[in-house]
Structure 1
Amino acid sequence: MATTPGILTDWPWTPLGSFKHVVVAPWIIHGTYSYFVNDGKDKDLSYFLIFPFMLWRFLHNQLWISLSRYRTAKGNGRIVDKGLEFEQVDRERNWDDQILFNAILFYLGSRHLPGAVNLPFWRTDGVILTILLHAGPVEFLYYWLHRALHHHFLYSRYHSHHHSSIVTEPITSVIHPFAEHISYFTLFAIPLLTTILTGTSSIVSFAGYVTYIDFMNNMGHCNFELIPKWLFTIFPPLKYLLYTPS
């Protein structure tokens, strides 16, 4: 918990405990049934793939957690030379809440947003637009949002929960109160909504963008360096494309 928990700290499905995943069951069942029963135009591949994409995000994050804990236990090249505390492991056990939250919003958007139905597999213009929007307004706004979250008012109520983890793990990157995740999704939805409204969205631009964010979050919060320093010397622009734990 944050030092002074604010409103919307807890996730809506917290009372469900280990059964929280049932909140997405109706959409999963509907998406699967619709895809295999309907024919032609009624067969929406993008709607059906939300569930497999959710499973991919679970797997992707779990692979990072396993790699990080292996390297932390091995003890070579650790940035913070400490072991993990049980209290931190317990606090970060609900890292999949944000995946459920995103999945619900994707399902709702796929059903109710004009232009979000039957997305094509690939559109080059949409991929380029997504990259430009992230590198421009999203990164700029994220910088100021992050600074605002370090203001004592918001920090004590929300962001201090994230910084309770001293020996960071990959999944520490998404350990935030519910309200904070709402602000993050609103920000990262800018490229997604823009491509939908301009008719340039695709399955690859959606899945690729979210996977990129997951990858950078996971790598950036490892307690060891994955990218060798000499690579930045050989290719200096790399520092504008990713960040490192150090």
Structure 2
Amino acid sequence: MASVPGILTEWPWKRLGSLKYVILAPWIIHSTWLFVANDAKERDVSYFLMLGVVLWRIIHNQIWISLSRYRTAKGNGRILDRGLEFEQVDRENNWDDQILFNALLFYTGSRHLPGAQKLPLWRPHGVLLSIVLHAGPVEFLYYWFHRALHHHYLYSRYHSHHHSSIVTQPITSVIHPFAEHMVYSALFFIPILATILTRTISMASFAGYVTYIDFMNNMGHCNFELIPNWLFSLFPPLKYFMYTPS
């Protein structure tokens, strides 16, 4: 927790403990019922498949967690040559809260935003738009928001919680108070909302963008280097597409 916890620090479902996944029950029940009750022409397969994206995010993050802890235990190639403290492991045990929060946003958007239903598998314009918007306004706004979080007022109330983890592991990237994640979600939803409004969204642009964000966050907080330095020397522009732990 931050040194001086601010408002909206705790996740709304913290008291549910391990039962917190029950908040997805309405979506699971509703999407399953629509898939079974409607005939093939009326089924919104994308609405059902979004649950698969949520499940994929959990599996994807768990793969990174397992890989990181294996490398940390093995001991070779660590950036910071220290082991994980039990206190950090416990503090970061709620890494899936942000996935649940995003899932609720996916559910709400897919039901109420025009253009977010019956998504095709592929639309090239939506993929290109997502890339451009992320590389432009999203990264720009994210940079300045992150700078603001390191101001004493916000750092002590929110961002210090993230920096309590000295030996970072992939999920350290998403260990933030609820208020921070509200802003992060607003930023990273810009490309998704833009593709919805322009009717260029597809399952590929949606799932691909979410996976890219998770991949970069996880890789950037490993306590080891996954990408060799020579690759950046061989292809210098690569540094504009990804970031690494060091």
- Whether these two folds match at TM > 0.5 is yes
* CA–CA distance in structure 2, aligned partners of residues 142 and 36 of structure 1: 41
* CA–CA distance in structure 2, aligned partners of residues 42 and 160 of structure 1: 49
Q: Secondary structure of the equivalent of 2:209?
A: helix
1:139 matches 2:104: no
Please list the CA deviations of residues 23-61 of structure 1 after superposition, one character each: whole Å capped at 9, or x if unmatched. Answer: 001111111221122124431111101211111111000
1:198 matches 2:195: no
Matched residue count:
246
Q: Secondary structure of the equivalent of 2:32?
A: helix
Match of 1:166 in 2: 166
Q: How much does 1:147 deviate?
A: 0.2
Match of 1:175 in 2: 175
Match of 2:11 in 1: 11
* CA–CA distance in structure 2, aligned partners of residues 44 and 54 of structure 1: 17
Letter of the aligned partner of 1:216 in structure 2?
A: M
* CA–CA distance in structure 1, aligned partners of residues 146 and 46 of structure 2: 32
Q: Secondary structure of the equivalent of 2:93?
A: coil
Letter of the aligned partner of 1:89 in structure 2?
A: V
Runs of at least 5 residues in structure 2 that lack an aligned partner in the other structure:
none
Match of 1:63 in 2: 63
Match of 1:21 in 2: 21
Q: How much does 1:233 deviate?
A: 1.1
Q: Secondary structure of the equivalent of 1:176?
A: coil
Letter of the aligned partner of 1:197 in structure 2?
A: L
Letter of the aligned partner of 1:56 in structure 2?
A: W
* CA–CA distance in structure 2, aligned partners of residues 176 and 41 of structure 1: 42
Match of 1:48 in 2: 48
Q: How much does 1:211 deviate?
A: 0.3
Match of 2:156 in 1: 156
Letter of the aligned partner of 1:55 in structure 2?
A: L
Match of 2:72 in 1: 72
| TM-score of the two chains, using structure 2 as the length reference | 0.99
Please list the CA deviations of residues 129-155 of structure 1 after superposition, one character each: whole Å capped at 9, or x if unmatched. Answer: 000000000001100000011111111
* CA–CA distance in structure 1, aligned partners of residues 103 and 36 of structure 2: 20
Please list the CA deviations of residues 146-185 of structure 1 after superposition, one character each: whole Å capped at 9, or x if unmatched. Answer: 0011111111111000000000000000000000000000
Q: Secondary structure of the equivalent of 2:94?
A: coil
Q: How much does 1:120 deviate?
A: 1.1
* CA–CA distance in structure 1, aligned partners of residues 207 and 225 of structure 2: 26
* CA–CA distance in structure 2, aligned partners of residues 108 and 93 of structure 1: 26
Please list the CA deviations of residues 86-110 of structure 1 after superposition, one character each: whole Å capped at 9, or x if unmatched. Answer: 0000000010000000001000100
Q: Secondary structure of the equivalent of 1:93?
A: helix
Letter of the aligned partner of 1:52 in structure 2?
A: G
* CA–CA distance in structure 2, aligned partners of residues 10 and 197 of structure 1: 32
Q: How much does 1:236 deviate?
A: 1.2
Runs of at least 5 residues in structure 1 that lack an aligned partner in the other structure:
none
Letter of the aligned partner of 1:127 in structure 2?
A: V
Match of 1:95 in 2: 95
Percent identity of the aligned residues? 76
| TM-score of the two chains, using structure 1 as the length reference | 0.99
Runs of at least 4 residues off by over 6 Å: none
